[in-house]
Amino acid sequence: MRSAVSWTGGKDCAMALYEAKAAGHDIALLVTFAPENPSFRAHPIPLMEAQAAAIGLPHLFLTIRPPDYNGSYEAALRHLQNDHGIACLITGDIDLIGASTSNFMNERCAGVGMAIFTPLWQRPREALIQLVLERDFHVVFSCVKEASFNDAAAWLGRRITRDALDDLCVLHASHGVDVCGENGEYHTMVLYAPYFSSRVLLPSSWSIESKDGLSCLRLEAAPTLQTLL
């Protein structure tokens, strides 16, 4: 089935792509649903462009316009169907967010008759992070909620390792932090996955931007690619 991956540059969509490839999906492209003039603090556009180049897939940005978000998303999905032959959308959704009682993208796909594949859905959080480690994904923290992390700056740029997972489990027990960051406690950047042809290298110069209760990496230059030998 010709498929597109809903792409943000973080661990969940990257893991969903891994699972979809293993399940036999014909993955044609990456798609990012974005507002007009987007400014992604947790997942900078140059990073996503570098990831797409490392994966070897086209990357589309489709604009979502208010106030009719439902209609705008469905129009974007119809564009994927009609212009790119996409029959299935792959997402890294893990669970319902906040007070939601339904999965937003499931409903939007159903509205246009598109299949959806959510391979991470309601899987145990710690087990998902363990898979990130076992599959040798290189993932770093790119943005954290200051209220959830005592020393937010110390987490930025930190790689997800066994020690980091242990620390997340401690924060889950003490402060209710979702181990996968499903409530927006943190966001990540993927610098390598098993299906990358190159490693994504962050620039040596970066700073920390603190705004609206979030601390995020601010890249001072575009990432580069290191070809794998």
Give residue-wise pLDDT tens across range 137-153: 999 999 999 999 989 99
* pTM: predicted TM-score of the whole model, two decimal places: 0.95
Architecture of domain 125-227: Alpha-Beta Complex (3.90)
Find tokens 């087990």 and name the residue. Answer: 127
- What mean pLDDT do residues 4-20 have? 99
The pLDDT of residue 35: 87
128 phi and psi angles, rounded to 5 deg: -65, -45
Overall fold of domain 2-117? Rossmann fold (3.40.50)
Q: Given a cut of 90, is residue 112 above it in pLDDT?
A: yes
> What pLDDT shows up at residue 42?
81
Residue in the block written with tokens 């014909």:
26
pLDDT at residue number 40: 78
Q: Is the pLDDT assigned to residue 88 strictly greater than 70? A: yes
Q: In this model, does residue 12 exceed pLDDT 90?
A: yes
DSSP letters for 175-200:
H---TT-TTSSEEEEEEE-TT-SEEE
Statement: residue 98 has pLDDT above 70: no
pLDDT tens digits, 20-62: 999 999 999 999 999 887 777 788 999 999 999 999 999 999 9
Q: Do domains 2-117 and 125-227 have the same CATH topology?
A: no
The 10s digit of each residue's pLDDT in 157-205 is: 999 999 999 999 999 999 999 999 999 999 999 999 999 999 999 998 8
- Residue with the two structure tokens 């030998």: 229
* DSSP notation for 30-68: EEEEE-SS---SSS-HHHHHHHHHHHT--EEEEE--SS-
Structure tokens at 2: 């010709």
Ordered by start, the domain boundaries in the chain are 2-117, 125-227
